[in-house]
Amino acid sequence: MKTTNYKLQILGVVLLAISPALAQVAAHDPTPVKPLVAANAAPTATPAASPGVAPLMQVKNKPVVRINGTELTDRDLLREMFAIFPYAKQHNGFPKAEEEKIRQGALRMIEFEELVYQEAVRRGMTVPPAKLAKAESDFRKQFPDQETFDAYLKIEMKGSQQVMRRQIRRSLLVDEFLKAEVQDKSKVTLAEARAYYEKNPAPFRYPENFSIQTISIMPPDKASDEAMKAARKKAEEALSQAKATKTYQDFGLLAEKYSEDDFHVNMGDHKVVDRDKLPPEIVKAAQAMQVGQVSDLIQLGSFYTFFRLNAHTQPGKLTFEQVKDRLRQNMEKEKNERLRAGLDKKLRQTAKVQEL
């Protein structure tokens, strides 16, 4: 879950990462504290975007949405787009295929945060002076020196520490509200996780599977009888050497030398493969083998193959102890997303949101 605290924490990174061409843009009060421009930047030409990348939009401090009379600008929008896709600086823009999705996601997020902030104010929530002072102190520590901080203050905060303090207070209020209404309510107890585990056994079952390395000799399609004989001879020679191997690595080096299938570049390793994804001939042979053994030669269609069995796992079910931590995390994430979506919907019902 992305929060405004996250935005405060990444300040030092983003501050030096965004296009210098945007350094003349003025700050805007409702914006979460997250700088858009390099603190020591001077106006320059915007670099050309990489192929397949939409150039960065030109920020004009133009309103993009009005929420109960409060305007958020294209500057706010671009900040959030950078938060979603931080590699935009590296590519001088956003991927063309994803730009609109990123833009819409960013717009929805800045709207949500403004709605949350306004609701926090409406409820009379406050930030204790000591907490605000500590947040301001922590925020300033992110800057490498006073000069960088002063430049940031001038460019992003209209040269006013009061404006900066309001932004920090806003971020803290948003965080506190979301903690109370989403984060705290997303907690899943061990008993709840166990109840889900017992009621939904299917996701925790696993099928019979095998871990194998292969060496395959693959003659061309419609190969002549002579070519097939030559392929079989080559496969038998490789198999003879493979039978003498003792380790995963020894077999793998042979695979890299002899094998003609796609796995030869990875020491012939197929990793873990479910039973139903393997040819029946492989499954039948593997079920009769011990781990570490090499199979006999197997013809599959027009090619020859053999394999080393590295592991054989019978079908079963993960225990609750094995899955409890991951299960709780997944359940909490799903609950968090559901609560955020519900909160967004509820706040919009009583708000006037005008996208401009």
Residue 105 and residue 132 in one domain? yes
Which parts of the chain sit beneath pLDDT 70?
Answer: 1-51
Does 40 share its domain with 166? yes
Does one domain contain both 139 and 249?
no
The residue range of the domain holding 298 is: 208-314
* 351 domain residue, yes or no: yes
How far apart CA 306 and CA 138 sit, in angstroms, is 62
Evaluate whether residue 320 is within a structural domain: no
Q: What is the CATH number of the domain that holds 250?
A: 3.10.50.40
- Same structural domain, 351 and 235: no
Are 309 and 337 within one domain?
Answer: no
Q: Residue 271: inside a domain, yes or no?
A: yes
pLDDT of 50 reads 62
* Residues in Cβ contact with 270 at an 8 Å cutoff, skipping those fewer than 6 apart: 211, 212, 213, 214, 263
Comparing CA positions, the residue from 102, 98, 53, 95 lying closest to residue 78 is 102
Q: Do 91 and 183 sit in the same domain of this protein?
A: yes
In this structure, the answer to whether residues 181 and 100 fall within a common structural domain is: yes
Residue type, 296: D
- Both 144 and 175 in one domain: the answer is yes
- pTM assigned to the model: 0.68
pLDDT of residue 55: 72
Q: Which helix (H) or strand (E) holds 167?
A: helix 161-178
Q: Does residue 142 sit in the same domain as residue 174? A: yes
Distance CA 35, CA 11 (A): 6
pLDDT value of position 223:
80
CATH number, residue 93: 1.10.4030
Is the CB of residue 115 less than 8 Å from the CB of residue 67?
A: yes
In this structure, the answer to whether residues 281 and 344 fall within a common structural domain is no
Are residues 338 and 309 part of one domain?
no
Residues 183 and 215 in one domain: no
Residue 212 φ/ψ, nearest 5 degrees: -135, 155
CA distance 277 to 321: 29
Smallest CA-to-CA distance from 289 within 273, 305, 307 is with 307
What confidence score (pLDDT) does residue 25 get?
A: 28
52, 71 contact by CB (below 8 A)? no
| pLDDT given at position 47 | 55
Eight-state DSSP code of residue 30: T
User: 338 in a domain, yes or no?
Assistant: yes
Q: What are phi and psi of 84, to 5 degrees?
A: -75, -40
The domain total for the chain is 2
